Amino acid sequence: MQYCERHEMHHCADCSPRAPRGSASTGEWDEWPATAIIIHASGKAHLPGCTHIVPADIRPPLYGWVLTPSSGAWRRLTPSYPLCATQGNTERAAASRCKDCDATQ
């Protein structure tokens, strides 16, 4: 099992190979790394597989994203420590996490 960058630990049961959440088929999220963080215009951060978003809709100007966030970025994400998009619409910044995505972490 690999080191989990998101949770900063080895043997992370939450991030070991997983099936997509909800109704998304495997093929829809294949192009997204499991560690990616997707940022909506509302300032909400989502993870690949989230049922609130459709992969085909993830494009600028509505979305920005970080394909390789720094270690622990998901847990640090708060209004006082926002995550800025590095791709897509790089003016997007997330100040909160999707509750459904967060529940899987």
Predicted confidence pLDDT, tens digits, the chain (105 residues): 456 666 565 555 555 554 444 444 457 899 999 999 999 999 999 999 999 999 999 999 999 999 999 999 999 999 999 999 999 999 999 999 999 999 988
In a domain, 14, yes or no: no
For residue 105, the model assigns a pLDDT of: 85
The domain of 46 spans 35-104
DSSP per-residue codes, 69-99: PPTTHHHH-BTTB-EE-SEESTT-EE-EE-H
In a domain, 75, yes or no: yes
In a domain, 56, yes or no: yes
In a domain, 40, yes or no: yes
Domain count of the fold of the chain = 1
User: What is the value of pTM for the model shown?
Assistant: 0.76
In a domain, 67, yes or no: yes
Find tokens 């494009």 and name the residue.
59
In a domain, 17, yes or no: no
In a domain, 8, yes or no: no
In a domain, 29, yes or no: no
Cα 105 to Cα 15: distance, rounded to the nearest angstrom: 8
Q: Are 9 and 60 in contact (CB under 8 A)?
A: no
Q: Name the DSSP class of 6.
A: T
Cα 51 to Cα 29: distance, rounded to the nearest angstrom: 11
